[in-house]
Structure 1
């Protein structure tokens, strides 16, 4: 092996190091998003609907929490996810829930 080849191998980055840098950058992005607002403003509404579903053991047929269309007919398509958010929010503080939703969102992407 020539000294030029040895220099190139010494300078070239390791693939493991590249993956580690990418993973670290991804983790930092997740942490920053979790510390801010990871989802839209309707998230708190979904959490409240989920809590209502868990308390009443039924799926609401009218919009019970909307300011503008209260008592309007409503067919929730995400009632199971809402229920999961409501139960989780009632059992845990908000921060772990926000971090968990952020990681689930990034894993789905």
Structure 2
């Protein structure tokens, strides 16, 4: 008889969270904001500096701006340059999985019950699901 070290429930939960995470992939690009971030990433890559004005917004060329999301913009551009638009939903899926895994770990540490941690993780993912689009806030949620 093998001893139960908890790896089977953990593996099943990871599989379910993975499926949940890649539900976003089927939705494609749900946010139009990605095109602004992608174009900003291209601009930063080509000019090797941050934009000081917003050349892509209406009337933005005359107003100063802060490129606070530049790592996200560059990551979007790198993903786009590798495989076009198809990698953006995959990035979203991986970020969703990472957020769900971190939430599950936090829940498990806080209450110790695997079943309760899994339940609250799925509840949290359900609540957050409408915000799971490839935008900079995914990094804010994760970190």
TM-score w.r.t. the length of structure 1 is: 0.68
Stretch of structure 1 that moved more, 20-29 or 34-43: 34-43
Q: In the alignment, which of 5, 11, 16 is matched to residue 25 of structure 1?
A: 16
1:1-80 paired onto structure 2 within 5 Å: 15-37=6-28, 40-67=31-58, 69-71=59-61, 72-80=63-71
Q: Per residue, is there more helix in 1 or in 2?
A: 2
Query: Retained in 1: the 8 A contact 2:25–2:89?
Result: yes
Q: Which has the larger radius of gyration?
A: 1
- Gap change, CA 1:23 and 1:64, over 3 Å in 2: same
Which digits, 9 at most, give the CA deviation of each residue in 1:54-98, with x for residues without a partner? 12222111111123x422211111223312221321222222232
Query: Retained in 1: the 8 A contact 2:79–2:87?
Result: no
Query: Retained in 1: the 8 A contact 2:37–2:73?
Result: yes
Query: Retained in 1: the 8 A contact 2:52–2:66?
Result: yes
Which digits, 9 at most, give the CA deviation of each residue in 1:7-30, with x for residues without a partner? xxxxxx983332232112111111
C-alpha separation in 1, matches of 2:34 and 2:85: 12
Please provide the CA RMSD for this pair: 2.6
Q: Which consecutive residues of structure 1, in runs of 5 or more, have no partner in the other structure? A: 1-12
1:70-109 paired onto structure 2 within 5 Å: 70-71=60-61, 72-108=63-99, 109=142
C-alpha separation in 1, matches of 2:84 and 2:66: 29
Q: Which consecutive residues of structure 2, in runs of 5 or more, have no partner in the other structure? A: 100-141
